[in-house]
Structure 1
Amino acid sequence: MVTCNGSPYKDAKIKIYELDTLHDDELARTFSNADGKFRLGGSQSELGGISTQLNIYHKCEMPFYKRVLPMCYYKATFPIPTRYVKSGSVSEPYNVQTIELSLHAKGYDCINRRR
């Protein structure tokens, strides 16, 4: 679940990436619902282990003059623990609990378009 100042945050873009040396691969994407909840899963076929991260793109606490410009979003990044990254089907889902977007470092992403 994602929240902004304690309230559910709707329409955050959420992506899972597999981290590579040259180019990170997007494995899956979704948006948070009206309750701030989301469900996401991805798969990748690669030799050796993979490192993954969850990126959340949002406008929580973004000043109004920046919110009206549709091209830039804050980006919050969270590594996914390796115990949830497995070959084959995952036996146990990774529950991120509640992510309060106002408490996380805010990097800008102006390349990642809304949809």
Structure 2
Amino acid sequence: MYLIISFLIIVLSLLTWADTLFTQSAGVKGILMCGDRPLSNTKVKLYDDDSGPDLDDLLAEGTTDSMGQFLLYGHTSEIMTIDPKLNIYHDCDDSITVDPLIISC
């Protein structure tokens, strides 16, 4: 019985250690402008851009303030290096489109 409990403790410790070992972070800070005016209340999302059947991981999301400023920071556990991608959902000087445009950087 003690052998099973010891084995489970070791396995759980290794899983926790592995998750910590592969945790990676990314952040982005910026100001969005539409011509000479700030883009306020604009949705921004930070992703880990994954390829293949693996879906992109959402790291953080938010909106710009009245001055167009934003700050996003997030983390995820990946074996390979992460590829941060910023999506900006805006309607800058586009009176024709009802849906916001999506720009990925």
Task: Settle same-fold status: TM greater than 0.5.
Answer: yes
Partner of 1:8: 38
Partner of 2:104: 77
Alignment-mate amino acid for residue 29 of structure 1: E
TM-score by length of 1: 0.59
Write 1 or 2 for the structure with the bigger share of strand: 2
Question: Matched residue of 1:38: which SS?
Answer: strand
Give 1:20 deviation, angstroms. Answer: 1.2
How is 1:1-115 mapped onto 2 (pairs within 5 angstroms)?
Answer: 1-21=31-51, 22=53, 23-63=55-95, 65-66=96-97, 69=98, 72-78=99-105
Question: Matched residue of 1:17: which SS?
Answer: strand
Task: Provide the rounded CA distance (Å) in 2 between the counterparts of 1:77 and 1:20.
Answer: 14
The runs of at least 4 consecutive aligned structure 1 residues that moved more than 2 Å come to none
1:73-113 Cα shifts (integer Å, max 9, x gaps): 111111xxxxxxxxxxxxxxxxxxxxxxxxxxxxxxxxxxx
Question: Matched residue of 2:41: which SS?
Answer: coil
Give 1:62 deviation, angstroms. Answer: 1.3
Task: Provide the rounded CA distance (Å) in 2 between the counterparts of 1:40 and 1:15.
Answer: 8
Write 1 or 2 for the structure with the bigger share of helix: 2
1:37-68 Cα shifts (integer Å, max 9, x gaps): 011101011112111111100000112x53xx
- The percentage of counterpart residues that share the same residue type is 32
Task: Provide the rounded CA distance (Å) in 1 between the counterparts of 2:81 and 2:71.
Answer: 23
TM-score by length of 2: 0.65
Unaligned runs of 5+ in 2: 1-30
